[in-house]
Structure 1
């Protein structure tokens, strides 16, 4: 996590590998998480740095009002501000789809910041296509009382690979890359849930962006644009027109071909430099332990405050550190949950661990299966639990004897959204954390 000086805007970024820095900009409405596997591959050659663009993932959004929404230039400038905050003057960069739009815009505004670009698919929409997108592509996305928005979200993300745009059900709109890859859809759904309605600002800026590349006589760094078979932007390769010197565009057969061509191009144009020393904020970060990462926030040396099963870290008070316990929130899962927590406390200098109270009820019933399924029913299951736990304790005992005083604030859709998303992210780790706490309580009696 890194705070931008002057604005206070916080940017979450991922880092992997060694060697010269490579900036990687994700597509919308995703986050840098979509590059996790690719960063591990390319990390053998580059120090891959992938920020969550404003309003996506864990990064703060750009300011907006009812009368003025951020435009593509604002997102491009925000990217350059991030480079400034890192202390990086010039860098090669890679972006896919809308990530490429942001990068090309940044290159046009500050060409000296980039050694080269590799772009996966570059959209050149015609007026008719722009009109279609403007009318229906970016509906408002807000939590609803009974979770109807989750049904829409699952099907929108799933069917985006069947037809493009997602709402165009004509035979002519069919894609050749249709799939029902459940983990892939679930990851996209999770990232959209993180962004919420802020996705409109970032995605909208991309769709409103001018559809041009630098003129053929522009003095700009080299760029490679590729698009693979089945990518809805592959036909846009033919719309690019005359390009500047050092720019090239190619149609390739597979996503692997696109990635291989991009990596080779980036390697050809990147300087051979040592891994950069990248700054991070001192009050939030991801601690690397043997087996994964733990997300923490607060004052190092403070008491370690832990949340309960199916929860996530809270804002720490003075003298405290909070974490997403293993398998929850932004933390990786660990087989030995207690061991990971105790190692975290030691690494962060915490003199005391404040273990959470156990929720009442049978752990076998408290944490129903939230494994993503073909029809997205796990989303509604988590939402139903988030509502029921406001009425009863334990939530699965729907009876007068189990009724608890109603808290209307806890039934606010935003509050329901936060609890349901925490439960979805925790999955089976919530039950295992409960069982870990039972064992710890028994050991301390």
Structure 2
């Protein structure tokens, strides 16, 4: 009698709703094949929430926030083209590196896989992309949430690209120290591991760091905000350099409303105070879902 065990396929392991999974979405951009890296969390059949990150970060900045939203939503955080593990925009892409280009690539990739509208949240550069996405694809964006809206003053427009100038590699490693000091200055109280992650991501994206800031400056955001018809929630932390833009942004939006984050919240609020962000996003997005 043959005592050998017969092979049987392993049981499929279902992840917990709070488990963060990773993968790639495909997009055709100007006839070229591109892949955008994502993190996802929650049940795929739940209402779709799309998270868009700041510069020079990646979807990694949402790892603490995503599980807090996963009970009610399918949460999808995308690496912007050229950042994290996403391919850059093709060299032949119309307009070069632009907010419109980022929004178009993200829309193509997400809509090709998930054929339904999304609730969209963006932080800083991600907020600029979110506005562009709602302006260009109004049927795709059910509601919008903006943290640190990019309605910039003339002084901010002049300073922003200078704050992200490319730091050339140095044989002695001085470039590491310069980048470390730049990113620590954003929040000197941030965990060292967070600053280290951001420094690595800043070097990974290369020239896209400065180029994305220039793209934010060049975006014609005022008429876009005025044309957006979906409900929009706008907020910023007390230490966010873009906090002063909250009220003017709300005034431009036909269906805008303001909310508040803690006074000690800054540029890394999604990493460091995810519960405060979730407490704003969850009821707002649920309100939109329940309204149908």
Q: Please report the TM-score for the alignment, with normalisation by the length of structure 1.
A: 0.53
Counterpart position of 1:268: 287
Secondary structure at the aligned position of 1:37 is classed as: coil
Match of 1:221 among 217, 227, 230: 230
Counterpart position of 2:143: 116
Structure 1 pair 210/41, CA: closer, same or farther in 2 (3 Å)? same
**Quick one: distance in 2 between partners of 1:224 and 1:107?**
13
Conservation of the 8 A alpha-carbon contact between 1:141 and 1:197? no
Structure 1 pair 124/64, CA: closer, same or farther in 2 (3 Å)? same
Unaligned 5+ segments in structure 2 are 1-23, 264-272
Counterpart position of 2:17: none
**Quick one: distance in 2 between partners of 1:272 and 1:31?**
32
Structure 1 pair 193/76, CA: closer, same or farther in 2 (3 Å)? same
- Cα RMSD for the two superposed structures: 2.4
- Does 1:193 find its partner at 2:179? no
- Does 1:2 find its partner at 2:28? no
Structure 1 pair 96/232, CA: closer, same or farther in 2 (3 Å)? same
- Does 1:208 find its partner at 2:218? yes
1:55-74 deviation per Cα after TM superposition (whole angstroms, max 9, x unaligned): 00000111347x96322111
Match of 1:157 among 162, 168, 183: 183
1:199-250 deviation per Cα after TM superposition (whole angstroms, max 9, x unaligned): 233333123222426465x462111011121111111123326334432123
Conservation of the 8 A alpha-carbon contact between 1:76 and 1:102? yes
Secondary structure at the aligned position of 2:55 is classed as: coil
- Does 1:71 find its partner at 2:102? no
Counterpart position of 2:258: 249
Displacement of 1:117 in angstroms is 1.0
**Quick one: distance in 2 between partners of 1:147 and 1:215?**
43
- Does 1:131 find its partner at 2:158? yes
Counterpart position of 2:270: none
1:257-301 deviation per Cα after TM superposition (whole angstroms, max 9, x unaligned): 34311221111113699xxxxxxxxxxxxxxxxxxxxxxxxxxxx
Structure 1 pair 215/159, CA: closer, same or farther in 2 (3 Å)? closer
1:90-127 deviation per Cα after TM superposition (whole angstroms, max 9, x unaligned): 11111111101101111111111111011111022122
Counterpart position of 1:144: 170
Structure 1 pair 2/219, CA: closer, same or farther in 2 (3 Å)? closer
**Quick one: distance in 1 between partners of 2:54 and 2:289?**
23
**Quick one: distance in 2 between partners of 1:250 and 1:232?**
16
Conservation of the 8 A alpha-carbon contact between 2:84 and 2:205? yes
Counterpart position of 1:259: 278
Unaligned 5+ segments in structure 1 are 162-177, 274-445
1:134-159 deviation per Cα after TM superposition (whole angstroms, max 9, x unaligned): 4x222123433332211111111101
**Quick one: distance in 1 between partners of 2:64 and 2:148?**
19
Structure 1 pair 38/251, CA: closer, same or farther in 2 (3 Å)? closer
1:299-325 deviation per Cα after TM superposition (whole angstroms, max 9, x unaligned): xxxxxxxxxxxxxxxxxxxxxxxxxxx
Counterpart position of 2:55: 28
Structure 1 pair 180/43, CA: closer, same or farther in 2 (3 Å)? closer
The count of residues paired between Structure 1 and Structure 2 equals 254
Specify the structure having the higher radius of gyration (Cα).
1
- Does 1:14 find its partner at 2:39? yes
1:353-382 deviation per Cα after TM superposition (whole angstroms, max 9, x unaligned): xxxxxxxxxxxxxxxxxxxxxxxxxxxxxx
**Quick one: distance in 1 between partners of 2:224 and 2:172?**
48
Structure 1 pair 74/86, CA: closer, same or farther in 2 (3 Å)? same
Counterpart position of 1:52: 79
